[in-house]
Amino acid sequence: MNLPAPYITTTIGSFPHPSADGLCEQLLAQLDIPAWPQLPRRTFYENMYAQYASALPAVHFDAANEKLHICVDDNVLAAIEAFYTHYIADDLDYFALKQDHAAGFYAMLEVMAHAPGSWIKGQVTGPVSFGLTVTDQNGRATLYHDELADVLTKNTAMHARWQIAQLQVARPNVLLFIDEPYMAAFGSAYVSLEREAVVAMLTEIIDAVHAAGALAGVHCCANTDWSVLLATPVDLLSLDAYGYLDTLALYPAELRAFLDRGGWIAWGIVPNTDAITEETPLRLADRLRQGLHEIADRAQRREVDIGVEELGTRSLLTPSCGLGPTDPVYVQPILESLVQTSEILQTAQPSI
């Protein structure tokens, strides 16, 4: 499976809308690869952590305070054993998104049933971000509990497989993103996590996505050690190119190897804030062009051959991050700028 064309459009996932009414139809009409919308303002249960927590052992939701935790006490091992029973039995339905946790997902399935197409994008929250954000009852990150780290990884993999199976009923080609915002903290004094552990966790999930017949992407919305993500078998790397495009230029050898195995890059070149009012599609296209030239030039200085045209032919376009925190008044201008920037860059191919 390969993506259909350069500079096609998709989104990261979240939107500020209080309901999915009309939103799925809009995304299907505007985007080359529409994504089902996450609606964190609709309910606490649709935030990117609560949304994927329902199958976890010993999970406790506190909707009144918009918090969740995993209770690590004398009963947790029995709960973990029950979790693995479902995992070993390949009980995908156990890992289904609950309807009240994912109104946008089920709305998109309903709309797609009457809107044929080829491609759809889904998303899951990665185990690094989940495990460093969701804590036990004492505030300790769940990823630092040895007995839970593997559970978090397998929970994500099974959620991804279940989601892909549902989406493939409507559209044969699925792009599944693993959202890892917390990878921006990797390598800092605040995060004690080995590189090999991150690569192993993400690889297990990516392998599950591939086995389900989908393409796998990883999204990080800030700067990170991109060599870690490029060391996985991921098909698509997604980054905030509006703010951090130049950081990818620090890893020319790893980027070269990624391109050699057919990798794609989703450039989040359209800002997801009020900065959109100061930009035009032409300026955004120029900003990306300049960034691609910088990557190619810096690679050349390190004797790594990465061509601007090659980067262009392996490019998707997205907003810089999810639109969940965005003022709703800017959503339509952001989507329109995304589409128009795509048109400018596609017209300019192959020499950009």
Q: Residue 186: what pLDDT?
A: 80
Report the length, in residues, of the chain.
352
Query: Which tokens go with 37?
Result: 């919308």
- How high is the pLDDT of residue 182? 87
Residue 214 resides in a domain: yes
- Report the number of distinct structural domains present in the chain: 1
Does residue 1 lie in a domain region? no
Sheet of 67-70, strand order: 59-62, 67-70, 135-136
Cα–Cα distance measured from residue 214 to residue 312, given in angstroms and rounded to the nearest whole number: 22
Residue 97 sits in a domain whose CATH number is 3.20.20.210
The string of pLDDT tens digits covering residues 267-309 is 999 999 999 999 999 999 999 999 999 999 999 999 999 999 9
The reported pLDDT for the residue numbered 323 is: 96
**What integer pLDDT is reported at residue 308 of this predicted model?**
96
In which residue are the tokens 């392996």 written? Answer: 314
- In the predicted structure, residue 39 carries a pLDDT above the cut 70: yes
Max Cα distance, the chain (Å) = 63
Write out pLDDT tens, residues 310-351: 999 999 999 999 999 999 999 999 999 999 999 999 998 654
Does residue 164 register a pLDDT over 80?
yes
Residue percentage of the chain with pLDDT more than 70: 98
| Residue 137 pLDDT exceeds 90 | yes
Three-class SS string for 138-206?
CCCEHHHCHHHHHHHHHHHHHHHHHHHHHHHHHCCEEEEEEECHHHHHCCCCCCCCCHHHHHHHHHHHH
What pTM, to 2 d.p., does this model score? 0.96
Concatenated DSSP letters of 189-251: TT----HHHHHHHHHHHHHHHHHTT-EEEEEESS---HHHHHTS--SEEEE-HHHHGGGGGG-
- Give the helix/strand (H/E) hosting 339: helix 331-348
pLDDT reported for residue 104: 98
CA dihedral over 100, 15, 28, 311, signed as positive or negative: negative
Amino acid at 35: A
Question: Is residue 12 in some structural domain?
Answer: yes
Average pLDDT, the chain: 95
Task: Report yes or no on 312 lying in a domain.
Answer: yes
Phi, psi of 322 (to 5 degrees): -65, 155
Reported confidence tier of residue 175, pLDDT bands at 50, 70, 90:
very high
Confidence of residue 184 (pLDDT cuts 50, 70, 90): confident
Q: DSSP class of residue 134?
A: S
Q: How confident is the model at residue 4 (pLDDT cuts 50, 70, 90)?
A: confident
Q: How many angstroms separate the CA atoms of 198 and 213, rounded?
A: 23
pLDDT at site 108: 98
What does the pLDDT read at residue 193?
83
Q: Which two tokens stand for residue 329?
A: 């008044």
Task: Print the domain residue range for 141.
Answer: 8-348
Q: Which two tokens stand for residue 328?
A: 């709703």
Question: What per-residue confidence (pLDDT) applies to 191?
Answer: 75
In a domain, 3, yes or no: no
Joined tokens for residue 67: 């918090």
Q: pLDDT at residue 189 above 70?
A: no
pLDDT of residue 192: 76
Q: What is the structure's pLDDT at 348?
A: 80
